[in-house]
């Protein structure tokens, strides 16, 4: 974890330097007070009741049907306000009332879709209506808001100000969003190589956070003509998908031995519940407005608490993946909690606080991508080890443990491959009177004889040797003079046994049956048929006195011409 900690410290230091260098937004400093009421209340009546107004920073009630925001205009200002800027979110409509010194006023009502999206920040802007008098107070009524941020971040802008984010903030936000996009291709590449579920869940996390960052930053307005209320819905839905996917990611990415089955089941239930509840509360259903304001953010809490408990247990059990998870999610949980509290309208914060979210999102995806890479490499190593072990066991299964030659199982699997490579000569050998050796000298000496026989039949580039079982061996040969080379190996058995197994009072000989197919294009790949011919020739050699070879050359196999076999058998007995 030391390299990871150093990496995080460097990124956080760079983040703080960028934020410190970013200038604050130049908003008008007109005094803003607020009051709450119902949709059927008259503004004049509310203005006549000073006790209903609060000029404190915070204390907004987004659950109220209507909230009035009153801006006292500074008469000493050289230029009055020109625009109204509202934090993008859901609301029904905005009513603007300009009030003059003598009580004259102008009222205008604007629907949500009449406000202009601001691509350099998550804001909607609206030009103030012209008035034949100098306004001393501007009252903005927001009907049915879904967020405290819509109320707390509604501001008036002076002439010449557009409310756009600074260049430093835009560059920082764009860089963070670019980092969010990078893991999408990375995960697709990983999944193409290693089909693991945690890779797909991390892909969903990255895509959800990318959409969330585009919507919450307002940059989505730069590329699309989507409406502000639709963007508000996308913001909440993408957050739901990202958080729910993080629960599934935790379930699948932790090492199996670090989280028990019951903990995984609990986390799965919490993830599904969070997805359903928060997803429902993210939909623009008017009946759920008050519930969504106060409960939607809180609905994430059970999943966050349970995930923290699972990760804590996994770290205690030595999980490396859980340490990555902690480093990735701790900053984003802190930022999310702060924004949830601010969204409820309890307090306000400088605009720069919002900018921290995007680098934190990017940081989370970077660290989680490191975790995905770590788990990918670990699983890949496990798979490579399993494949190597399987290949080793396969080779062991295909080898005779006594002689080291291929066994009958290997021959059944590999004969077609050998035959396709030109091994068209098959020789079957059997040691003569081998039972007498076992009975006279014991099985240990018999095993030595078998090993010496295998050494005499040792394979080379054009010869493959197989122990069929007991004292029976088989040769596959290709190239010129295959039958003669098989005969040389048969004769070598006697000399090799005499050299390697001292103390025998007799020579060890072998009988052999050989079938050679002359025409490669007509050669049969039916091993059972070839083996039956070799076996017949072997016993013919045994009947003729042992220590000899019986062979035949086949031009075609299994066909008949004019009712007779088309093979031209040439037998030779040694």
Q: Is residue 1 pLDDT above 50, yes or no?
A: no
- Distance between first and last Cα of the chain: 75
Q: How far apart are CA 504 and CA 376, in angstroms?
A: 60
User: What pLDDT shows up at residue 15?
Assistant: 53
Q: What is the pLDDT of residue 525?
A: 65
pLDDT at 14 over 60: no
289-334 pLDDT per residue, tens: 888 888 888 888 899 899 999 999 899 888 888 888 888 888 888 8
| pLDDT (tens digit per residue) in 127-149 | 888 888 888 889 999 999 998 88
Q: Kindly tell me the number of DSSP H helices and DSSP E strands found in the chain.
A: 18, 18
Give residue-wise pLDDT tens across range 182-191: 778 878 887 8
492 — pLDDT class (breaks 50, 70, 90): very high
CA-based nearest residue to 493, from 478, 507, 514, 482? 507
Kindly state the tokens that stand for 567.
Answer: 């093979």
| pLDDT at residue 570, rounded to an integer | 41
Specify the pLDDT at position 499.
93
Give the confidence band of 449 by pLDDT, cuts at 50, 70, 90.
very high
> What's the CA gap between 197 and 71, in Å, rounded?
53
pLDDT of residue 456: 95
pLDDT score for 27? 41
Task: Report how far apart, in Å, the C-alpha atoms of 486 and of each of 414, 422, 459 are.
Answer: 20, 16, 11
H helices present in 344-481, as ranges: 352-355, 357-397, 408-420, 434-441, 443-456
Q: Which residue has the tokens 């974890």?
A: 1
H or E stretch at 310: helix 301-316
Does pLDDT of 467 surpass 50? yes
When pLDDT is averaged across residues 399-407 and rounded to a whole number, the result is 90
Mean pLDDT of 30-37: 84
Please give the pLDDT value at position 163. Answer: 60
Contact status, residue 488 vs residue 549, Cβ threshold 8 Å:
no
123 with 86: CB under 8 angstroms? yes
How confident is the model at residue 79, as a pLDDT? 63
pLDDT at 483: 93
pLDDT for residue 415 is more than 80: yes
Provide the b/e sequence for 475-501 (b: ≥16 CB within 10 Å). Answer: bbbbeeebbebbbebbbbbbebbeeeb
φ, ψ (nearest 5 deg) of residue 429: -115, 150
Residue 34: helix, strand or coil by DSSP? strand
Q: Quote the tokens at residue 234.
A: 């996308």
Dihedral sign (CA 377, 378, 383, 385): positive
38 alpha carbon, distance to own chain's centre: 49
Residue 236 has pLDDT above 80, yes or no: yes
Distance CA(505)–CA(497), nearest Å, equals 12
CB 152 within 8 A of CB 339: no
Predicted confidence band of residue 474 (pLDDT cuts 50, 70, 90): very high
Give the Cα separation of 247 and 242 in Å (integer): 9
Q: Please report how many Cα atoms fall inside a 13 Å half-sphere around the Cα of residue 445, on the Cβ side.
A: 16
Per-residue model confidence (pLDDT) at position 440: 92
Average pLDDT over residues 159-181: 72
Band (468; pLDDT cuts 50, 70, 90): very high
Write down the pLDDT at residue 272: 94
Q: Percent of the chain beyond pLDDT 90?
A: 33
Q: Please write the tens of the pLDDT for every residue from 57-106.
A: 778 888 899 999 999 887 655 567 888 888 888 999 999 999 988 888 89
Of 277, 218, 205, 175, the closest CA to residue 85 belongs to: 218
- Residue 320 has which token pair? 């490396």
At 245, the pLDDT band (50, 70, 90 cuts) reads: very high
What pLDDT score does 30 carry? 59
Average pLDDT of span 101-121: 84
Displacement of CA 77 from its chain's centroid (Å): 57
Q: Which pLDDT score is estimated for 523?
A: 58
Q: Please give the Cα distance from 230 to 88 (Å, whole number).
A: 10
Per-residue pLDDT band for 162 (boundaries 50, 70, 90) equals low
Query: Rounded distance, CA 176 to CA 209, Å?
Result: 11
Residue 394 pLDDT:
72
Structural domains present in the chain: 2-21+169-388 (1.20.1070), 31-158 (2.60.40.2380), 406-573 (3.30.70.270)
pLDDT score of 566 more than 70: no
Q: How confident is the model at residue 253 (pLDDT cuts 50, 70, 90)?
A: confident
Task: Indicate whether 571 pLDDT > 50.
Answer: no
The residue among 367, 337, 351 whose CA lies nearest residue 173 is 351
Confidence of residue 13 (pLDDT cuts 50, 70, 90): low
Q: Are strands 510-517 and 425-431 parallel, antiparallel or unpaired?
A: antiparallel
- The confidence score (pLDDT) of residue 65 equals 92
pLDDT value of residue 234? 92
Overall size of the chain counted in residues: 574
pTM, rounded to two decimals: 0.64
569/553 Cα distance (integer angstroms): 6
Beta-carbon contacts of 76 under 8 Å, excluding residues fewer than 6 positions away, are none
Among 22-36, 51-65, 170-184, where is mean pLDDT lowest?
22-36
8 Å CB contact between 308 and 263: no
Average of pLDDT values for 361-389? 80
Mean pLDDT of the chain: 83
Q: Are 180 and 212 a contacting pair, CB within 8 Å?
A: no
Q: Which two tokens stand for residue 536?
A: 């017949």
- pLDDT tens sequence across 204-218: 988 998 898 888 888
Measured distance CA(498)–CA(452) in Å, rounded: 9
The predicted pLDDT at position 336 comes to: 83
The alpha carbon dihedral of 128, 134, 137, 141 has a sign of negative
Q: What is the DSSP letter of 566?
A: -
């Amino acid at each position: 974890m030391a390299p990871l900690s150093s990496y995080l410290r460097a990124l956080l230091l760079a983040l703080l330097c960028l934020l410190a260098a970013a200038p604050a937004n130049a908003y008008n400093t007109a005094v803003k007070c607020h009051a709450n009421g119902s949709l059927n209340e008259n503004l004049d009546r509310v203005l006549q009741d000073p006790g209903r107004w609060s000029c404190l920073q915070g204390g907004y009630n987004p659950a109220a049907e209507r909230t009035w925001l009153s801006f006292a205009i500074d008469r000493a200002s050289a230029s009055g306000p020109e625009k109204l800027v509202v934090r993008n979110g859901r609301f029904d409509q905005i009513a603007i009332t300009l009030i003059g010194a003598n009580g004259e006023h102008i009222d205008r009502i604007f629907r949500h879709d009449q406000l202009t999206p601001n691509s350099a920040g998550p804001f909607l802007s609206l030009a103030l209506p012209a008035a034949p008098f100098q306004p001393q107070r501007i009252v903005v009524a927001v009907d049915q808001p879904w967020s405290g941020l819509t109320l707390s971040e509604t501001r008036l802008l002076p002439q010449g100000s557009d409310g756009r984010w600074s260049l430093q903030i835009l560059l920082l936000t764009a860089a963070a969003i670019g980092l969010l996009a990078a893991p999408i291709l990375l995960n697709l590449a990983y999944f193409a190589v290693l089909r693991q579920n945690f890779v797909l869940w991390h892909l969903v996390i990255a895509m959800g956070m990318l959409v969330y960052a585009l919507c919450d930053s307002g940059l989505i307005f730069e590329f699309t003509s989507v409406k502000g209320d639709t963007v508000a819905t996308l913001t909440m839905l993408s957050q739901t998908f990202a958080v729910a996917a993080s629960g599934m990611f935790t379930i699948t990415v932790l090492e199996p031995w670090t989280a028990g089955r019951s903990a995984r089941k609990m986390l799965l239930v919490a993830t599904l519940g969070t997805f359903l509840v928060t997803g429902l509360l993210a939909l623009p259903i008017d009946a759920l407005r008050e519930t969504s304001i106060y409960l939607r953010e809180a609905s994430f809490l059970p999943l966050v608490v349970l995930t923290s408990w699972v990760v804590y247990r996994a770290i205690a059990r030595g999980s490396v993946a859980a340490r990555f998870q902690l480093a990735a999610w701790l900053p984003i949980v802190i930022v999310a909690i702060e924004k949830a509290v601010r969204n409820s309208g309890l307090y306000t914060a400088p605009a720069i606080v919002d900018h921290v979210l995007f680098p934190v999102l990017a940081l989370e995806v970077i660290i989680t991508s490191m975790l995905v890479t770590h788990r990918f490499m670990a699983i890949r190593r496990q798979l490579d080890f399993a494949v190597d072990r399987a290949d080793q066991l396969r080779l062991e299964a295909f080898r005779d443990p006594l002689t080291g030659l291929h066994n009958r199982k290997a021959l059944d699997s590999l004969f077609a491959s050998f035959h396709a490579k030109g091994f068209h000569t098959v020789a079957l050998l059997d040691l003569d009177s081998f039972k007498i050796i076992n009975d006279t000298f014991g099985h240990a000496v018999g095993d030595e004889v078998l090993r010496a026989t295998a050494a005499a039949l040792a394979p080379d580039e054009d010869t493959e040797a197989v122990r069929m079982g007991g004292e029976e061996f088989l040769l596959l040969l290709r190239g010129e003079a295959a039958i003669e080379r098989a005969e040389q190996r048969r004769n070598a058995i006697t000399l090799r046994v005499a050299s390697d197994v001292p103390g025998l009072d007799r020579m060890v000989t072998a009988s052999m049956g050989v079938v050679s197919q002359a025409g490669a294009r007509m050669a049969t790949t039916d091993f059972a048929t070839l083996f039956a011919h070799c076996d017949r020739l072997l016993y013919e050699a045994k009947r003729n006195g042992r220590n000899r070879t019986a062979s035949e050359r086949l031009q075609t196999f299994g066909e008949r011409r004019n009712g007779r076999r088309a093979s031209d058998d040439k037998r030779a007995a040694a």
